[in-house]
Structure 1
Amino acid sequence: MARENLRATLLGFAGALVVFAVLFSLIGVGDLVYQLQSADPRFVALVIVATLGWLFAWGLALRTVLSVLGVELSAVKSFLVFSGAMFSNNITPFGQAGGEPVTALLISQSSDAEYETGLAAIASVDTLNFVPSITLALVGAVYFATETTLGQSLELAVIGVVVLATAVPGLVYVGWQRRYQLEHKAVSVLTPVIRRVAEFVPRVSKPTAESIEGRISRFFAAIERVATNPRGLVLAVSLSAAGWLAQMLGLWFAFHAVGTPVSPAILLFVVPIGAIAGVTPLPGGAGGIESVLLVLLLAATGPAVTQSAILAAIVIYRGAVYWLPTLIGGVVVSVLGLNNT
């Protein structure tokens, strides 16, 4: 199993390298290097500060959700745990979908939470993050549309945001109304799968059907506790919005670093849409997110900003957003791994 996961991760990074090679060759490596060498280090430092602000805000959102579930973490520890969560997302294909099980284990190891509670907490945070991202994207798209004529690429992006803004809440509502049926279905489907997989995992005893059902039930119960706590939901969504704004501020600083400021309204819808590419098989969306950001920013800025300047700003921004939590989270995961061996 571990060998298969490693193979998938290596293939994901290989795919990301191919995407970056194509991007750099299309824009021009020489121009990109020149833009990066000429970047204002003061604004680059501000990109890092904004990235830390994003991690801290979303760490507090995770802390809020865990508090609703009866698990207490300090602000600093929640920052470190969330950085560890981002580390697992960034080295796992399919981004958050692939990293959530590892994140749940990390939460359970760093607190007194059960694994199911940790999984429910990070799943809740990921879901709540969708609300402000689409809201900000719609606000930015509407504002930007009033200032200029949207091209075909931006029209498609706006249509996609509108579809997501209507479809996803609808699916969540239907899922909530049928949560008990979903829980029963999950038990019937996952129980034989988990018991079968356990037969091939060394040093792990085969769980009983009753224990699996109990764990799945605790997961759904935790989700329900979060969903029925209005104060916790409002606070977590507000912190999530603060995190998104910090990311947008980071990209805005990155454009200032390369000497080409852009309208903040562009970033309101470009950053959330770009983040959707994180669901690709590429680890942490590396390559995919950069490609989407490049296409959208080229369409939004037009000839006023050069292609090399846009790509340089993206490299600075994504370099901080990807590598800073990866480095911090890697240390966290390593320490927790050593402490639990």
Structure 2
Amino acid sequence: MNGKQLRTTLLGFVGTFSILGLLLYFVGVDGFIGELRRADNGTVALVVLVTLGWLSAWGFSLQTVLDVLGVDVSLPQSFFILNGAMFSNNITPFGQAGGEPVTALLISKVADTEYERGLAAIASVDSLNFIPSISLALVGAAFYATQSSLGRRLRIATAALVALSVLVPSVAYVGWRKRDSIQRRITGVVAPIIKYLTRILPVSSSLNREEIRSRIGHFVDSIERVATNRRGITLALTASTAGWAFQMVALWLAFAAIGKSVPLSIMLFVVPVGAIAGITPLPGGAGGIEAVLVALLSSLPGTAIGVEAALAAVIIYRGAVYWVPVVIGGGVLSVVGVDTVQQGS
């Protein structure tokens, strides 16, 4: 991580702590601490265990996609690779957009494959994760609407979900149909940039236009290979859906830990909506996700969730889904980094 990236990351964490500080200020520290003190340690441990289930399910999804691409990795390897990916996402701004290049490099190192194939694999997994998240959220919103009227915040969130469910697939479809022309345009833009960078940076080799076109072509071919494998997509989508279900159960258990009973149907809706806040320019979306979750949960009609209880449960839940992959993934990247240095020496 160079100086500019470090400054950007540090600024992101300053933003995260600022948002969390504002949440505490508006909620009230005493009420928040009081709710946390009521937490049952055994149930909190279950939240962590379910978090590992989520990571295992998405690790299987990654293994499935890599298998489609002809990359042989074991389930434990894909689990650790996924945690490395989550670590990168959680410490870089803009979440997945910031961490995926590092993840692709990790895949290429661990699986001994091309960088483009690793990038295609993690991009495919991220795309597949979007489908069940939106689907589950819309099902949850529809079910909850039959039980109680939706408040203003929930109506806005539901409208945003409906818009995303139409916009994202439409953009993906158009992009897929025009992938050849997009590939040529990307090559035309990237080639001059790389040529310029190789002049001013101390690198030993450079890529010519044909090599760049070839690498982008390999990336597109890998995406196409995944998209046309029905068995692989079915398995990956099933694993992705299971992963989302584990996350929803984790938040439900976080409420149970502080003695609050919340319908599981609510989790179907709020967890994917909260995940959308991960696109904010904050490391892993931290701060933004918590704010969105607390705002939604505390505004649910027909429930007795106060802002203090909502924040306490969200902190328990986010403490697991944020820090468990950070700890595991940080260890993975450290080991891979040490091995890489030793191999190069």
The TM-score range, normalised by the shorter chain, is over 0.9
5+ residue gaps in structure 2?
A: none
Counterpart in the other structure of 1:274? 274
- The answer as to whether partners of 1:107 and 1:113 remain within 8 angstroms in 2 is yes
Matched, 1:184 2:193: no
Counterpart in the other structure of 1:296? 296
TM-score by length of 1: 0.98
In the alignment, residue 10 of structure 1 is paired with which amino acid? L
Matched, 1:335 2:335: yes
- Cα 1:168–1:213 shift into 2, 3 Å: same
SS at match of 1:88: helix
- Cα 1:36–1:301 shift into 2, 3 Å: farther
Q: Tell me how far 1:194 sits from its aligned partner.
A: 2.3
In the alignment, residue 246 of structure 2 is paired with which amino acid? A
Q: Distance in 2 between matches of 1:200 and 1:301?
A: 59
Counterpart in the other structure of 2:130? 130
In the alignment, residue 166 of structure 1 is paired with which amino acid? V
- Cα 1:204–1:89 shift into 2, 3 Å: farther
1:73-117 alpha-carbon deviations (Å, 9 max, x no partner) = 111111000000000000000000011100000100111221000
Matches within 5 A, 1:53-202: 53-202=53-202
- Cα 1:35–1:6 shift into 2, 3 Å: same
In the alignment, residue 7 of structure 1 is paired with which amino acid? R
Counterpart in the other structure of 2:263? 263
Counterpart in the other structure of 1:247? 247
Q: Tell me how far 1:214 sits from its aligned partner.
A: 1.3
- Cα 1:337–1:128 shift into 2, 3 Å: same
Which stretch of the first structure deviates more once superposed, 169-178 or 16-25? Answer: 169-178
- The answer as to whether partners of 2:81 and 2:332 remain within 8 angstroms in 1 is yes
SS at match of 1:290: helix
- The answer as to whether partners of 1:262 and 1:301 remain within 8 angstroms in 2 is no
1:47-98 alpha-carbon deviations (Å, 9 max, x no partner) = 0011101100111101100100000111111100000000000000000001
Q: Tell me how far 1:303 sits from its aligned partner.
A: 5.9
In the alignment, residue 70 of structure 2 is paired with which amino acid? G
Runs of 4+ deviating beyond 4 Å: none
In the alignment, residue 35 of structure 1 is paired with which amino acid? E
SS at match of 2:300: helix
- The answer as to whether partners of 1:199 and 1:206 remain within 8 angstroms in 2 is no
- The answer as to whether partners of 2:66 and 2:72 remain within 8 angstroms in 1 is yes
Which stretch of the first structure deviates more once superposed, 291-300 or 322-331? Answer: 291-300
RMSD: 1.2
Q: Tell me how far 1:253 sits from its aligned partner.
A: 0.4
Q: Tell me how far 1:197 sits from its aligned partner.
A: 2.8
Size of the aligned set, in residue pairs, is 341
- Cα 1:269–1:201 shift into 2, 3 Å: farther
- The answer as to whether partners of 2:148 and 2:302 remain within 8 angstroms in 1 is no
SS at match of 1:49: helix
Q: Distance in 1 between matches of 2:285 and 2:16?
A: 8
Counterpart in the other structure of 1:283? 283
Q: Distance in 2 between matches of 1:169 and 1:127?
A: 10
TM-score by length of 2: 0.97
Counterpart in the other structure of 1:225? 225
SS at match of 1:186: helix
Q: Distance in 2 between matches of 1:100 and 1:199?
A: 26
Q: Tell me how far 1:204 sits from its aligned partner.
A: 4.4
1:271-330 alpha-carbon deviations (Å, 9 max, x no partner) = 001001101100000000001101111112566122111100000000000000000000
Q: Tell me how far 1:205 sits from its aligned partner.
A: 2.4
SS at match of 1:299: coil
Q: Tell me how far 1:207 sits from its aligned partner.
A: 1.9
Q: Distance in 2 between matches of 1:26 and 1:37?
A: 19
Q: Tell me how far 1:192 sits from its aligned partner.
A: 1.4
SS at match of 1:300: coil
1:136-156 alpha-carbon deviations (Å, 9 max, x no partner) = 001000000000011110001
SS at match of 1:205: coil
- Cα 1:201–1:250 shift into 2, 3 Å: farther
Matches within 5 A, 1:318-333: 318-333=318-333
Q: Distance in 2 between matches of 1:202 and 1:284?
A: 31
SS at match of 2:298: helix
5+ residue gaps in structure 1?
A: none
Q: Tell me how far 1:34 sits from its aligned partner.
A: 1.8
Identity in percent: 54
- Cα 1:200–1:87 shift into 2, 3 Å: farther
1:239-283 alpha-carbon deviations (Å, 9 max, x no partner) = 000000000000000000010020111110100010011011000
Which stretch of the first structure deviates more once superposed, 206-215 or 10-19? Answer: 206-215
Q: Distance in 2 between matches of 1:29 and 1:71?
A: 50
Matches within 5 A, 1:7-22: 7-22=7-22
SS at match of 1:317: helix
- The answer as to whether partners of 1:81 and 1:107 remain within 8 angstroms in 2 is yes
